[in-house]
């Protein structure tokens, strides 16, 4: 699903965020990315959906070699990848329904099947009753569920979540985790950067720990491993 070979990322200000990373993540895995602040977790994630380019090394995502990917083909890559952010990034003037429908790649799809698909994903995240509301009328957890619905509406092979529970209280965080686990149980690969020791130590999955731009630990059913 995702392979990195000797990948490094140095930003234009000279900061090396990732240094010679090699990793393989299989289809259907659920992987936590952990590590101290500034370790390189977001950089790792941004490389996968080609928001950033590596300075060195090779990245394969869903059978595509990202170093050979032309700018005009980036939308095809993004169709395979759903992204969820800590701050939701919803369009504030659009309704819940519209936020999700907007993300749907409309390729010869009839309005009726668009409606069916949007309602299907809103049901999956438990928001079918709130489709006419706008983001400011929703709680943080509900907004994050809209963001997850938007991320999965195109049936991506992988969902990448950068601290998806970072702005949420513990109860709401568990709800979001249930939704992500549910998506994963249907075969979607999940990669989630998190600072939540509680989540990582409770819902045990593969843990990749990054420190100073280097992978220092890669463990199935691992612990969070840091004191916070």
Distance of closest approach, residue 12 Cβ to ligand ATP, in angstroms: 7
Among 15, 91, 106, 216, binds ligand ATP (CB under 6 A): 15
Among 42, 143, 154, 188, binds ligand ATP (CB under 6 A): 42
Distance of closest approach, residue 196 Cβ to ligand ATP, in angstroms: 12
User: How many other β-carbons are positioned within 10 Å of the β-carbon of residue 212?
Assistant: 14
Among 40, 54, 164, 222, binds ligand ATP (CB under 6 A): 40
Q: Which has the closest alpha carbon to 191: 1, 51, 38, 8? A: 1
Determine the Cα–Cα distance for residues 171 and 182; give it in Å rounded to an integer: 17
121 scored as a contact of ligand ATP (CB under 6 A): no
Q: What are phi and psi of 44, to 5 degrees?
A: -55, -45
Distance of closest approach, residue 178 Cβ to ligand ATP, in angstroms: 24
Among 6, 38, 115, 132, binds ligand ATP (CB under 6 A): 38
Q: Which has the closest alpha carbon to 169: 149, 193, 146, 198? A: 198
**Strand-by-strand arrangement of the 64-65 sheet:** 16-25, 2-10, 56-61, 64-65
Give contact residues for ligand ATP (rule: CB under 6 A): 11, 13, 15, 17, 35, 37-43
């Amino acid at each position: 699903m995702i392979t990195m070979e000797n990948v490094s990322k140095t930003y234009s200000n000279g900061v090396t965020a990732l240094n010679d990373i090699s990793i393989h993540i299989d289809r259907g895995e659920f992987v936590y990315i952990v590590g101290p602040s500034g370790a390189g977790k977001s950089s790792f994630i941004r490389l996968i959906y080609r928001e950033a380019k590596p300075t060195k090394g090779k990245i394969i995502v869903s059978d595509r070699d990202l170093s050979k990917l032309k700018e005009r083909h980036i939308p095809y890559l993004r169709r395979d990848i759903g992204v969820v952010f800590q701050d939701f990034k919803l369009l504030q003037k659009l309704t819940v329904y519209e936020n999700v429908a907007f993300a749907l790649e409309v390729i010869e799809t009839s309005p009726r099947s668009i409606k069916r698909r949007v309602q299907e994903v809103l049901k999956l995240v438990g928001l079918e009753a709130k489709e006419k509301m706008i983001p400011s009328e929703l709680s943080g957890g509900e907004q994050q569920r809209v963001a997850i619905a938007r991320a999965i509406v195109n049936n991506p092979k992988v969902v990448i979540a950068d601290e998806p529970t970072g702005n949420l209280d513990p109860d709401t965080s568990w709800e979001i985790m249930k939704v992500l686990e549910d998506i994963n149980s249907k075969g979607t690969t999940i990669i989630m950067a998190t600072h939540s020791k509680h989540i990582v130590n409770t819902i045990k999955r593969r843990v990749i720990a990054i420190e100073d731009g280097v992978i220092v630990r890669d463990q199935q059913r691992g612990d969070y491993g840091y004191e916070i």
